[in-house]
Homo-oligomer: A and B are copies of this chain.
Amino acid sequence: MHRSHTCGELRASHIGQTVTLSGWVQRSRDKGGLLWIDLRDRYGITQLFLEEGKSDAKVMEQARTLGREFVIKATGKVVERFSKNDQMATGDIEIFVEQLELLNASKTPPFTIEDESDGGDDLRMQWRYLDLRRNPLKNNLVLRHKIGIEARKYLDSLSFLEIETPYLIKSTPEGARDFVVPSRMNPGQFYALPQSPQTFKQILMVGGYDRYYQIVRCFRDEDLRADRQPEFTQIDCEMAFVEQEDILNTFEGLVKHLFKTVKGIDIPSVPRMTYDEAMRRFGSDKPDIRFGMEFQDLTTAMQGQGFAIFDQAEAVLGIVAAGCAHYTRKQVDELTEWVKRPQIGAKGLVCCMCNEDGTFKSSVDKFYSQDVWQKIAAQAGAKAGDLILILSGATDATRKQLSELRLLMGGRLGLRNPEEFKPLWVVDFPLVEWNEEAGRWFAMHHPFTAPKPDHFDLLETSPGDARANAYDFVLNGVEIGGGSIRIHDRKIQSRMFDLLGFSPEEAQHQFGFLLNAFEYGAPPHGGIAFGFDRLCALFGGADNIRDFIAFPKNNSGRDVMIDAPSTIDQKQMDELYIATQPINE
């Protein structure tokens, strides 16, 4: 071992011992006769110390040649530090260096290896190994490791078995686009990489495995955004002989366990909200409940006063921004422009200041008297000093727009503290949703989700009203988990495929093995999958999952460090019986 201790380990109690440390030169300071080196490894930083006259002249000379990020091995005595540093775990001591060995030199890094680096995103992606040396990334990966260990510990304690499912599976047209893998041994045929182990975990339930989990990579060939990667990791779980309540309790327990063991936070019982309620109160199926600012339905109150836009709207919805009555015209205009951007798509915004003197001021005062505003403010719970923000239009669209505005205002008012955690179960999701473009129903969760038993008949009469035993786990406005009770009856599954526009032949071709399995004693079962990358990011108080993945891809799906994907040899293609098509761009 090139060390006796790590760079984060030595304390006052080690004073007098001779130790060997190895690590990277974080910085060195040469004050003439005195030389200090901060030596860094994964565990911390320890100060090395040399002194002209006292130190061996050759060692002193060698120490002076060390640059940033050189890898060295230093042996010496632990001594008490003259000026202690209580910001550092090792701040009570330093090492008086007796021997020094250069293990490897380093060129000057293209950016500084500091908590706040001077390197841009592209540069840091290309030199990922240097970026990974920075504390913020290191802490993220350590956090990720801990969450993985604790998740397994919890699930193992409840008799869940981690069972590996295959990565080379079969392409299915439902859902997102598959990555495919040509088969050399089966010319002209392809494997697909799994978008999730969904059918395999259900097969394991049919196989009697009862409680399954896997922390597993999944693949989706979709266009990428900041929080999406072509490969991502799920905590994937399934249970047999359970009802929805059992799953909610079991996985609420998982999240509580993770908060407790990883962050030392006690999470009280997780509230539940139906999908319909979440949409009504927050205009979102993943409401951020760290703050209120709930939707107020002002339709009745605001219609019939002669303001045509509101009178013609399906819904007039408002939120109250506490203490914002002082907003200037400029601020209001800026908000109006913000909601009118194409990403939000509102036609306009009505703001009403609830002045401290009890009067009201809005841009539509010619339609609404002070008395009407008084009533509206009372209904909305707006107090003097508050600002009422109102959007109108078709219900679904208006909810969506106002939800975005609510999140914006919540952020601006400092109500979205990343160190505050407010989880929520959203339950009773619709089973299917109509896709105008495709002209057919699509599964809201996936085609294996069971309708609520008393909603079976709705599949015939009005599928859009059918609710499923499907649930999402939402944390601070982010969906980090979702699942459902599955269909375990072949007839219902066939009926579902039928509703989704699969012909019996297609259903049999794609999912025949599952349909057949349902005829050989499939138990009632259900499950959930958590997005591991997002969960880690939220635990780390961050938005971007990239900083929680050791080697992420960029928005073009490229790993710029290794320069992948890349072209392959003609010989490789010939062996696989494939060719590339000409590219017209």
- Say if the beta carbon of A207 comes within 8 Å of chain B: yes
A308 at the B interface (CB under 8 A): no
Dominant secondary structure at the A interface: loop
On whether the beta carbons of A221 and B133 are closer than 8 Å, the reply is no
A111, chain B: closest CB distance, angstroms: 11
CA A187 to CA B585, docked complex, whole Å:
10
Query: Could you say how many copies of this chain the assembly holds?
Result: 2
Please tell me if the beta carbons of B142 and A161 are within 8 angstroms of each other in the complex.
Answer: yes
CA distance A217 to B561 in the complex (A): 22
A421 contacts the other chain (CB 8 A): no
Write out the residue numbers on chain B whose beta carbons fall within 8 Å of the beta carbon of A520: 69, 106-107, 109, 127, 129-130
How far does the alpha carbon of A512 sit from the alpha carbon of B246 in the complex, in Å?
52
Whether A123 is near chain B, meaning CB under 8 Å from some CB there, is no
Contact indicator B166/A203 (Cβ below 8 Å): no
Q: In chain B, what residue has the closest Cβ to A549?
A: B164
A46 at the interface (CB under 8 A from B): no
Complexed CA–CA distance, A48 and B37 (Å) = 74
Within 8 A of B (CB), among A532-584: 549-551, 553, 556-559, 561-569, 572-581, 583
Minimum CB–CB distance for A115 against chain B, Å = 14
Chain B residues with Cβ below 8 Å from A327 are: none
* CB–CB B550/A163 < 8 A: yes
Query: Of all chain B residues, which has the CB nearest A585?
Result: B187
Known: A524-B2, A578-B580. A564 touches B170 (CB 8 A): yes
| A281 interface residue per 8 A CB criterion | no
Given A104-B522, A170-B559, A210-B41, are A1 and B246 neighbors across the interface (CB < 8 Å)? yes
Find chain B residues with CB under 8 A from A564 CB. Answer: 168-170, 191-192
Which residues of B have CB within 8 Å of A188? 567, 580, 583
Residue A152 contacts which of B152, B522, B567, B581 (CB distance < 8 angstroms)? B152
Complex: how many Å from CA A164 to CA B69?
Answer: 25
- Cross-chain contact A521 with B578 (CB below 8 angstroms): no
Q: How far is the CA of A189 from the CA of B568 in the complex (A)?
A: 7
Q: Which residue of B lies closest to A218 (CB)?
A: B167
Shortest CB-to-CB span from A342 to chain B, Å, is 24
A502 in the interface (beta carbon within 8 A): no
Min CB distance A522 to B, Å, is 5
Chain B residues, CB < 8 A from A517: 129
Task: Give 13 CB contacts A-B under 8 Å.
Answer: A42-B211, A69-B520, A104-B521, A107-B520, A109-B520, A164-B549, A167-B167, A167-B217, A168-B231, A185-B223, A200-B551, A203-B551, A573-B581
Q: What 8 A-B pairs have minimum CB-CB distances, sorted nearest first? A: A132-B207, A106-B521, A170-B564, A189-B565, A2-B241, A69-B521, A183-B565, A129-B207
